[in-house]
């Protein structure tokens, strides 16, 4: 019967030798092989960057969709498109800056909100 290996919650198994190593370890202390990064770990800056850059053009929900908050992402995409169209119309007809200010406020909020979503997921 094969021996069952046990690891703690903050450990993984080496991809080469199978020795238990810390989750944060880049290389195995036993065999020296560099460990592959965990594909389920999400880079904290990517969704924030997506919301920041693409949000300027009305696509502010993309970072939320990447983190798995699809409902929030779609809501922000639709509201971003509607508010950006309304903001453009207010500039064309010189009605005022109300929609542009609202759009900018939601855009900035979405950038920092997606960072909080990612940080909350990495704590668990």
pLDDT in tens, 6-50: 777 788 888 888 888 888 888 888 898 888 765 555 566 777 777
Q: Is the pLDDT of residue 71 over 70?
A: yes
Instruction: Report pLDDT for 44.
Output: 63
Tokens at 2, concatenated:
């094969």
Q: How far apart are CA 86 and CA 98, in angstroms?
A: 9
Tokens at 88, concatenated:
């453009």
pTM of this prediction exceeds 0.85: no
């Amino acid at each position: 019967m094969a021996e069952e290996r046990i690891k703690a919650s903050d450990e993984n198994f080496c991809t080469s030798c199978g020795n238990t190593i810390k989750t944060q370890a880049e290389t195995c202390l036993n065999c020296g092989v560099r460990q592959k990064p965990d594909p389920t770990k999400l880079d904290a800056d990517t969704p924030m960057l997506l919301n920041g850059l693409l949000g300027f053009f009305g696509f502010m929900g993309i970072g939320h969709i990447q983190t798995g908050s699809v409902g929030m992402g779609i809501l922000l995409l639709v509201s971003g498109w509607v508010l950006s169209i309304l903001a453009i119309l207010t500039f064309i007809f010189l009605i005022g800056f109300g929609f542009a200010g609202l759009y900018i406020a939601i855009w900035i909020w979405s950038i920092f909100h997606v960072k909080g979503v990612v940080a909350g997921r990495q704590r668990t």
